[in-house]
Amino acid sequence: MAQDNSSRVTEFILLGLSDRRELQLLFFTLILLAYTMVLLGNLLIIVTVRTDPKLSSPMYFLLCNLSFIDICYTSVTAPRVLVALLSGHKAITFEGCMAQLFFLHFVGSSEMFLLTVMAFDRYTAICRPLHYTAIMARRACWALVAACWAGGFIHSIVQTVLMLQLPFCGPNTIHSYFCDVPPVIRLACADTALTEWLMASNSGLISLGCFLVLVASYALILAKVRARVSQGNWKALSTCASHVMVITLFFMPCIFTYLRPAGTLPTSKYICVIYTILSPMMNPLIYTL
């Protein structure tokens, strides 16, 4: 354990996904492939939307922002875990750990808010088509995207400040491949019950609240078009189905991870792979179908 003269932990050890060398090579290959797909797929969407004048509608503007967020979100964890799997270097400084935690929640919560905005965009386009242009004007889209980033920043600042107030003077082994609230808070040398409930209320309620809003919006869309069988309505149904797949894949692991105090149940690091790597990889495929 790395400690300074005041017995404060100065670095953490990330145990990663496995200690077995053959599994480490397998995980390295799979994560490298997934990260490459995230980069190429989302960059392709961004370039296509930016260069094609026909793709200037609010839906594509929001999709372009989602692709940028996915690249940032996966880049918070994937490069470090790839280096650790290849080199075996598992240490991360205390400052680096807090920075990773901050950016993970900053970008992750911004994505949750943006997915909610995208659901509102689809609801407006399908259920209120005559008012769509006025409601989703370009200035309104920029304001909504800015609000998503601002909300993510505020959420992440709260999480990080709560973590920085805890003393870390004992174990420094994190049973995960990245720094996050549940595994790190267990290492604090203090009673963390209140802090755990505050963090669960923060991250967990944001995840659950956005998920319920998303489900409600798509339920309203389906109720609007269920009695119609035109080609346009089948397209609306397929759009909703693909979006529901994305939000389920992203939100359910987040709700399971954050909507409870950190010490109640162990958080599986393999569940974390779903929302940190797999979901951003699936977004370009599902949203562009």
Is position 124 within any domain?
yes
CA-based R_g, the chain, Å: 20
Is position 4 within any domain?
no
Q: What is the pTM of this model?
A: 0.88
pLDDT at 289: 61
Is position 166 within any domain?
yes
Is position 185 within any domain?
yes
The span from the CA of 125 to the CA of 122, in Å, is: 5
What is the per-residue pLDDT across 197-235, written as a single tens digit (0 to 9) for each? Answer: 888 778 888 888 899 998 888 888 877 777 565 555 666
Is position 61 within any domain?
yes
Q: Give CA torsion, residues 18, 19, 23, 27, to 10 deg.
A: 50
Q: What's 112's domain CATH number? A: 1.20.1070.10
Domain range for 75 is: 11-288
Is position 1 within any domain?
no
pLDDT tens digits, the chain, 289 residues: what are they? 444 444 577 889 888 887 788 888 898 999 999 999 999 999 999 999 889 888 888 888 999 999 999 999 999 999 999 998 888 788 899 999 999 999 999 999 999 999 999 889 988 888 888 888 888 988 999 999 999 999 999 999 998 998 888 888 878 888 888 998 888 888 888 878 888 888 877 888 888 889 999 888 888 887 777 756 555 566 666 667 777 777 888 888 888 888 876 554 555 778 888 888 888 888 777 766 6
Phi-psi region of 16 (alpha: psi -120 to 50; beta: other; left: phi over 0): left
Is position 262 within any domain?
yes
Is position 36 within any domain?
yes
Number of domains in the chain: 1
